[in-house]
């Protein structure tokens, strides 16, 4: 009976140390790409299979990352922001490329989602997506910090430098959206979204909106800002309140695509045509944005790149490497809700 190939066999054939083989098979950047590819080719040739349990015992690592998706208010029973569903595929692929498994868990804010995954050897690090009201979860991050947990969150830049956050440049996105509406000749632009500290990402989008108006010499009209959380129902109610206020407006910038879709539904119910009477810009570029009627002009967040950066950052934390907060640039996707002739 032919014995199974071992890492020692690979090391001998490749002319490297056993530790180098181990790193290369984990796709560690500590081994240069050419050597990694050569070792991986030899492993494939010898039909070598990693004994993950033995590896874990030696390294005290699980070679697993935990992706904790926290509940968000939604119109259905999923309680998961569709924006994060689009990021899930990217995170899964990026984790696999690094030789790690991904443990996906849905965490209710009422439960102890901050329980220490590392102490229980479930995962070497944690990625947090979605968190509803910032004020409800902020104190739980302190628990993770106290336990020296390797974790990264998706969201607005944190003032607490002990918390590593990766997110899109929401202020820039707010500026881009408002500048686009201004370029179309609109001067009375409403904002629908939470502009308070309870939702830092929405607040940054609002502040970018305000800065773009100020640069254009337009004073901010508080009557044009209406609170909305990230649901279609909330967008619908906010738009109805705006319409009932009697305040003049020719355009709406919303803090999310879901809010925008709800707002468009409210406008249609009142006989207000989009974009003929009111132009609308959303934020996120979730898949449904291009299928809305009319198709939604929006600010795109690059979910593929975001997923890669999240995985790269938490692995750097695990390896003890230098890592810092990142803001990913946003871009404008022009569709017919602002009067474009051709949807992109």
CATH code for the domain of 160: 3.40.50.2300
Residue 56 domain-assigned?
no
DSSP 78: -
pLDDT in tens, 245-296: 999 999 999 999 999 999 999 999 999 999 999 999 999 999 999 999 999 9
Q: Is the pLDDT of residue 344 over 50?
A: no
Q: Which of 342, 178, 193 is nearest to 260 (CA)?
A: 193
Q: For a pLDDT cut of 70, what percent of the chain falls above it?
A: 82
Average pLDDT value for the chain: 85
Instruction: Return the residue matching tokens 């904002």.
Output: 191
Which domain covers residue 123, as residue numbers? 64-167+303-328
Element (H, E) at 212: helix 200-215
Q: How confident is the model at residue 1 (pLDDT cuts 50, 70, 90)?
A: very low
> How far is it, in rounded angstroms, from Cα 110 to Cα 116?
16
Report yes or no on 179 lying in a domain: yes
Q: Are residues 132 and 183 in the same domain?
A: no
Angle (CA) 188 194 196, round 5°? 110
Residue scoring higher pLDDT (154 or 177): 177
Spatial contact of 282 and 297, defined as CB atoms under 8 Å apart = yes
How many distinct structural domains can be found in the chain? 3
Give the span between the Cα atoms of 116 and 78, in whole angstroms. Answer: 25
Greater confidence (66 vs 77) lies with 66
φ/ψ of 226, rounded to 5, equals -130, 135
Full-prediction pTM beyond 0.85?
A: no
The partner residues of 252 in beta bridges, in order of sequence, read 190, 280
CA distance 74 to 82: 9
pLDDT at 112 over 70: no
Cα 179 to chain centroid distance, Å, stands at 24
154/166 Cα distance (integer angstroms): 5
CA dist 152 to 143, 315, 337, Å?
14, 10, 35
Residue 113 shares a structural domain with residue 148: yes
């Amino acid at each position: 009976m032919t014995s199974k190939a071992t890492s020692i066999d690979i090391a001998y054939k490749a002319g490297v140390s056993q530790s180098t083989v181990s790193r290369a098979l984990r796709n560690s950047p500590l081994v240069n790409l050419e050597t990694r590819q050569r070792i991986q080719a030899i492993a494939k040739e010898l039909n070598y299979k990693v004994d993950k349990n033995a590896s874990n015992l030696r390294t005290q690592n699980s070679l697993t990352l935990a992706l904790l998706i926290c509940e968000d208010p939604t119109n259905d029973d999923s309680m998961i922001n569709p924006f994060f569903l689009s990021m899930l595929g990217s995170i899964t692929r990026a984790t696999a490329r690094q030789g790690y498994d991904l443990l996906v868990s849905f965490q209710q804010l009422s439960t102890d989602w901050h329980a220490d995954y590392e102490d229980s050897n479930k995962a070497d690090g944690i990625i947090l997506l979605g968190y509803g009201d910032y004020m409800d979860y902020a104190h739980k991050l302190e628990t993770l910090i106290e336990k020296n947990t390797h974790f990264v969150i998706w969201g607005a830049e944190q003032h607490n430098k002990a918390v590593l956050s990766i997110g899109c440049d929401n202020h820039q996105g707010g500026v881009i959206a408002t500048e686009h509406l201004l370029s179309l000749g609109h001067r009375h632009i409403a904002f629908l979204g939470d502009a308070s500290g309870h939702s830092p990402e929405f607040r940054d989008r609002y502040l970018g909106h305000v800065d773009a108006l100020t640069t254009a010499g337009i004073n901010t009209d508080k009557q044009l800002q209406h609170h909305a959380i990230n649901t279609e129902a909330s967008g619908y109610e906010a738009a109805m309140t705006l319409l009932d206020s009697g305040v003049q407006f020719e355009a709406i910038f919303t803090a999310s695509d879901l809010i925008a879709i709800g707002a468009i539904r409210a406008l249609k119910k009142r006989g207000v045509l989009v974009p003929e009477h009111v132009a609308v810009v959303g934020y996120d570029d979730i898949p449904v944005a291009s299928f809305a009627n009319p198709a939604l002009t929006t600010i795109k967040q690059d979910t593929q790149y975001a997923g890669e950066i999240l995985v790269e950052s938490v692995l750097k934390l695990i390896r003890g490497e230098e890592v810092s907060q990142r803001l990913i640039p946003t871009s404008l996707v022009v569709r017919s809700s602002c009067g474009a002739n051709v949807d992109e």
